[in-house]
Amino acid sequence: MKTREDDFNIRSKPLKEMSDAELKEYFYKLTKIVLNPIYNQTQNYTSKSIERSVLLRMGFSSLEAQKIVDVLNEHDLLPHGAGHCVFHVASINGIDIKDAGTLVIEGKYIDDIKEALKE
């Protein structure tokens, strides 16, 4: 096995010349580079379990959340976010979130959601 050559002093030299403010700025720049792929994944992908979790936090029971996710998944709306879809139904009808979830479970307003969220 090849031993890695110690080059710490060479690589750390530019950092030693930076002020605290510059180091902080450099740290956040590197952090953004490292986290961008993860952030992009969260913007483009979801899962049924994540969407159920969102609905649970919106006040739906586990069974209601499962049914909502299943209906939205059948209509390829899950990538838009289950909570977003339910919120849209509530907004266009002037009703509360729980009632909107019931309507989604019943398969109502699916076409309205599709129209509003089409890209």
Per-residue pLDDT of the chain (119 residues), as tens digits, is 787 788 888 889 999 999 999 999 999 999 999 998 887 877 777 889 999 999 999 999 999 999 999 999 999 999 899 999 999 999 999 999 999 999 999 999 999 999 988 75
69 with 26, same domain: the answer is no
Alpha-helical runs (H) found in the chain: 8-16, 20-44, 48-57, 62-74, 82-93, 97-105, 110-117
Amino acid identity at 118: K
97 with 58, same domain: the answer is yes
36 with 64, same domain: the answer is no
Range(s) of the domain holding residue 15: 8-44
Q: Is residue 1 domain-resident?
A: no
63 with 81, same domain: the answer is yes
Query: What pLDDT sits at residue 53?
Result: 95
Structure tokens that stand for 73 in this block? 């998944």
36 with 66, same domain: the answer is no
Q: Is residue 2 domain-resident?
A: no
The count of domains in the chain is 2
- Distance CA(93)–CA(15), nearest Å, equals 57
